[in-house]
């Protein structure tokens, strides 16, 4: 079901972003709302040249931010889509696929990469290391950073597999993740907080200070 929904959203993006080229103008655009330097800027309503009604945010005369678009399909049926726009282009339901919300001081770096996924086979692979973790000193092995708690304030997962036999890092693989997810990963007294909106496979690398 989620795969079908993603395909429908992608199809809507293609249709919406090419609609102005596919239909000839039938009327002059009409705008009501906030202006700046004579251009739509802020919240407003726009009826465009082919009769579509957009209500939402504008910037420098273009749809930019969250909004709702009422439009007609190629068969003439009324339709509606909500989401985010950037410079008149429809981005999708979310403004960004993922975002680092916050990290504590001892977390020096967080890197996030993504790969396409087919729900429900979606994963979050969290890896963490420090400069000295896994090395040895006169007292023995220096502990590697480890995950002490994962709090899914939104979304969920089915299974978590720890991989702790690597020399320099610990890795934790969350399987069958339901997105969108708002997650807090705790590393002892430290933590990172993430928004993961799109259903895909995420690889998150965390580096901590010694």
Vertex 155: Cα angle to 149 and 157 (nearest 5) = 60
* Residue 66: alpha-carbon gap to chain centroid: 14
Per-residue confidence (pLDDT) for residue 36, from 0 to 100: 97
Per-residue confidence (pLDDT) for residue 25, from 0 to 100: 62
Cα–Cα distance, 99 to 106 (Å, whole number): 19
pLDDT, tens digit (0-9, with 9 covering 90-100), for 153-162 = 999 999 999 9
- The answer to whether 169 touches 127, Cβ cutoff 8 Å, is yes
49 exposure class (CB count in 10 Å sphere: 0-12, 13-18, 19+) = middle
The low-confidence residues of the chain, meaning pLDDT below 70, are: 1-25, 133-140
Residues whose CB falls within 8 Å of the CB of residue 4, separated by 6 or more in sequence, listed in order: none
Per-residue confidence (pLDDT) for residue 139, from 0 to 100: 63
Cα–Cα distance, 152 to 187 (Å, whole number): 15
Count of all residues that appear for the chain in the document: 210
- The answer to whether 67 touches 56, Cβ cutoff 8 Å, is yes
Per-residue confidence (pLDDT) for residue 2, from 0 to 100: 44
* Residue 56: alpha-carbon gap to chain centroid: 20
DSSP for residue 192: E
pTM: 0.72
- The answer to whether 91 touches 64, Cβ cutoff 8 Å, is no
Helix extents (H) in the chain: 2-22
Per-residue confidence (pLDDT) for residue 20, from 0 to 100: 46
Nearest to 101 by CA among 202, 185, 205: 185
Helix (H, G, I), strand (E, B) or coil at 27: coil
Q: What is the DSSP string of 121-160?
A: B-EEEEEEEESSTT-EETTEEPPPP---EEEEEEEE-SEE
Vertex 18: Cα angle to 16 and 24 (nearest 5) = 105
């Amino acid at each position: 079901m989620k795969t079908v929904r993603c395909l429908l959203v992608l199809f809507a993006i293609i249709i919406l972003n090419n609609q102005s080229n596919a239909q000839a103008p039938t009327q002059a655009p009409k705008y009501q709302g906030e202006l700046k330097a004579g251009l739509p800027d802020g919240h407003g309503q726009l009826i465009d040249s082919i009769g579509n009604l957009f209500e939402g945010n504008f910037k420098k005369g273009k749809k930019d931010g969250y909004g709702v678009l009422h439009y007609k399909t190629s068969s003439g049926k009324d339709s509606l889509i909500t989401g985010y726009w950037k410079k008149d282009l429809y981005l999708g339901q979310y403004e960004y696929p993922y975002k680092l919300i916050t990290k504590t001081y001892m977390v020096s770096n967080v890197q996030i990469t993504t790969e396409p996924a087919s729900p429900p086979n979606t994963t979050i692979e969290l890896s963490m290391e420090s400069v000295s973790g896994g090395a040895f000193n006169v007292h023995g092995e220096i502990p590697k950073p480890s995950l002490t708690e994962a709090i899914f304030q939104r979304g969920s997962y089915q299974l978590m597999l720890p991989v702790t036999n690597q020399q320099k890092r610990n890795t934790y693989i969350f399987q069958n993740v339901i997105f969108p997810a708002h997650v807090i990963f705790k590393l002892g007294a430290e933590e990172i907080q993430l928004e993961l909106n799109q259903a895909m496979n995420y690889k998150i690398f965390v580096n901590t200070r010694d």
